[in-house]
């Protein structure tokens, strides 16, 4: 039965609360910003807020589950029979990870057919990637964790390929004032997503017990905040920049 | 083990509830006001409301944690093993204190590059300031509290310098009808922030036990309300004043 020190337990608890607060605030920030972007970027902002909303909900639940999973006795926290529900994370990712890629596609405002085909392909790959990770996450044996982890890397690398090669030309043809930000958003996606397999395999290379629990829970939380809230801020900035572009004549200059 | 009188316990409990109510109401006030200010000040209002939203969440949690941290027995409140989670405050400040400075920068509507550079610098300094305070706050020994408290004063004084010297010229070139309010907002930031180290060091100069707990918890609550809700009202007034300006003569440079 796993035992955590009070400091370890509190660190994870506070990381979850921090996660909830950040994601809930980010959601409101994105949705309150909808009115500030042009028509064609509003759906991107809605979806950006949906991702952080879904994640905020799950962090709230994760925090509750955490409180019920351990009981304080004689100066340490001992795992209860109930256990911590790590499935919340995977349920979250099943929904949010495909949507994160949809955000990026939407804010690029490609042609309709290209939007549909790329969003569908990337979304499906993301779904498969998350689904393949789960059996490894809950496995008792390290080798099962390895097998599913490696399987899950296949769609992950395919996504990376799609983002760099498949979307390369579309990114180069973004308006100049937003191109750098679109590239940054793509890079943040890939870099922050690389953090997940690192945390995942930490459980497979022999790091065990309380230390592993701290690394996994705090690590996933940081990765989630960068990949969802941080990434979302980039999407918001892209939408704002692109909304400044003259749209035909839409914006008349007011004489001074 | 710490014991509080019923009066002391209730005073702190009610301060937390007062804090939640004020911050939640302030949040709604700021967001409902977004429609009343011009486009370029809307993000400032969104962020102003985010700060009080995040703080309201934490005051709600702080109140819950307070209830679980003491148990009433024989006419007094005795600390339970669970303890009061003072990390909520620091998690809150990590998010809100940088955002408070961002609010002030945003409502000034500087050039984009100046906004980004000043907001980044001030935000990072604020983050470091809060992070340095935490180890001292939870330390058992008074000397550790002193060391981290003094370390944390370095970024604090740097922020004060930035606000008075770095931002001096930009404040002088604010539209005349808002200049006084911008100065007031800056002064409120500095004065209300000075309250935190005073409360912090109250725990280091030998004030102990129940009295120290009352001073720290009620003191931080008052400081939070002034620095977040009170300061936010000033930001709202600035945004309203500046929205009255005709849009043509955007900003006349006033010679310093």
Contacts of B247 in chain A (CB under 8 A): 254
Tell which wins on pLDDT, B97 or B140. B97
- Asked if the model's pLDDT at residue A86 lies above 90, the reply is no
Cβ-based neighbours of B136, under 8 Å, separated by 6 or more: B144, B145, B146, B147, B148, B149, B152, B200, B204
Element (H, E) at B69: helix B39-69
Helix (H), strand (E) counts: chain A: 9, 3
| Residue A256: CB atoms within 10 Å | 8
- Asked if the model's pLDDT at residue A251 lies above 80, the reply is no
Nearest Cα neighbor of A174 from A122, A106, A242, A104 is: A242
Contact A170, A106 (CB under 8 A): no
The rounded Cα A204 to chain-centroid distance in angstroms is 22
Contacts of B135 in chain A (CB under 8 A): none
pLDDT at B29: 98
- Asked if the model's pLDDT at residue A246 lies above 80, the reply is no
Query: Running DSSP on this structure, what letter comes out for residue A255?
Result: P
The partner residues of B76 in beta bridges, in order of sequence, read B5, B73
pLDDT at A55: 98
Q: Which residues of B touch A (CB under 8 A)?
A: 31, 34, 39, 42-43, 46-47, 49-50, 53-54, 57-58, 61, 81-82, 85, 87-88, 91-92, 94-95, 247-250
Contact A86, A131 (CB under 8 A): no
Contact A212, A203 (CB under 8 A): yes
Tell which wins on pLDDT, B196 or A203. B196
- Asked if the model's pLDDT at residue A256 lies above 80, the reply is no
| Backbone φ and ψ of A173, nearest 5° | -95, 15
Secondary structure (3-state) at A71: strand
Q: Quote the strand ranges of chain B, DSSP E.
A: 3-5, 70-73, 76-79
Interval A232-245 mean pLDDT: 93
Of B46, B49, B82, the CB nearest to A72: B82
Interval A86-92 mean pLDDT: 91
pLDDT at B229: 97
Name the residue of chain B whose CA is nearest to A254's CA: B248
Cβ-based neighbours of A27, under 8 Å, separated by 6 or more: A49, A52, A53, A56
- Asked if the model's pLDDT at residue A254 lies above 60, the reply is no
Structure tokens at A250: 């839409």
* d(CA B213, nearest CA chain A) in Å: 21
Helix (H), strand (E) counts: chain B: 9, 3
Secondary structure (3-state) at B37: coil
pLDDT per residue as tens digits for the range B123-156: 999 999 999 998 888 887 778 889 999 999 999 9
Interval A217-227 mean pLDDT: 94
Q: B91, A18: Cβ pair inside 8 Å?
A: yes
- Strands of the A3-5 sheet, one edge to the other: A3-5, A76-79, A70-73
**pTM of the entire structure?**
0.90
- Asked if the model's pLDDT at residue B184 lies above 90, the reply is yes
- Asked if the model's pLDDT at residue B49 lies above 90, the reply is yes
> Which residue out of B34, B35, B36, B46 would a mutagenesis test of the A interface target, given it has the greatest number of A Cβ atoms within 10 Å?
B46
Q: How far apart are CA A122 and CA A131, in angstroms?
A: 14
Q: A255, B248: Cβ pair inside 8 Å?
A: yes
- Torsion sign (Cα): A67, A93, A236, A198: positive
Q: How far apart are CA B3 and CA B212, in angstroms?
A: 12
Q: How far apart are CA B227 and CA A55, in angstroms?
A: 29
pLDDT at B137: 83
pLDDT at B10: 96
* Whole-complex ipTM: 0.88
Interval A15-27 mean pLDDT: 97
Confidence of residue B23 (pLDDT cuts 50, 70, 90): very high
- Asked if the model's pLDDT at residue A249 lies above 60, the reply is no
pLDDT at B25: 98
pLDDT at A247: 62
Q: How far apart are CA B76 and CA A29, in angstroms?
A: 44
- Asked if the model's pLDDT at residue B75 lies above 60, the reply is yes
Fold of A4-243: Rhopdopsin 7-helix transmembrane proteins (1.20.1070)
Structure tokens at B188: 């409120």
Cβ-based neighbours of A62, under 8 Å, separated by 6 or more: A16, A19, A85, A88, A89
- Quote the percentage of chain A above a pLDDT of 90: 73
- Asked if the model's pLDDT at residue B239 lies above 90, the reply is yes
- Asked if the model's pLDDT at residue A175 lies above 60, the reply is yes
Q: How far apart are CA A193 and CA A129, in angstroms?
A: 11
pLDDT at A250: 43
Give Cα separations from B65 to B80, B83, B88 (angstroms): 11, 8, 9
Of B50, B247, B249, the CB nearest to A29: B50
pLDDT at A203: 67
Of A14, A28, A35, the CB nearest to B53: A28
Contacts of A28 in chain B (CB under 8 A): 31, 46, 49-50, 53
């Amino acid at each position: 039965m796993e035992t955590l020190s009070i400091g370890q337990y509190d660190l994870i608890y506070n990381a979850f609360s921090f996660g909830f607060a950040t994601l809930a605030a980010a959601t409101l920030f994105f949705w309150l910003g909808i009115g500030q972007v042009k028509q064609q970027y509003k759906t991107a902002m809605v979806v950006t807020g949906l991702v952080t909303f879904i994640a905020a909900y799950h962090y709230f639940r994760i925090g509750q589950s955490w409180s019920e999973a351990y009981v304080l006795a004689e100066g340490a926290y001992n795992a209860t029979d109930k256990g911590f529900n790590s499935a919340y994370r995977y349920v979250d990712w099943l929904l949010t990870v495909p949507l994160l890629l949809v955000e990026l596609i939407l804010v690029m405002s490609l042609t309709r057919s290209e939007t549909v085909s790329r969003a569908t392909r990337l979304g499906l790959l993301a779904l498969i990637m998350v689904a393949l990770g789960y059996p490894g996450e809950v496995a008792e044996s390290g080798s099962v964790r390895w097998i599913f982890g490696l399987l899950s890397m296949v769609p992950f690398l395919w996504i990376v390929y799609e983002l760099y090669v498949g979307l390369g030309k579309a990114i180069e043809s973004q308006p100049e004032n937003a191109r750098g930000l679109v590239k940054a958003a793509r890079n943040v996606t890939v870099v922050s997503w690389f953090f997940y397999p690192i945390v995942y395999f930490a459980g497979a290379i022999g790091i065990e017990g309380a230390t592993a629990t701290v690394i996994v829970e705090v690590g996933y939380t940081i990765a989630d905040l960068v990949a969802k809230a941080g990434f979302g801020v980039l999407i918001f900035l892209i939408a704002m920049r692109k909304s400044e572009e003259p749209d035909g004549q839409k914006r008349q200059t007011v004489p001074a």
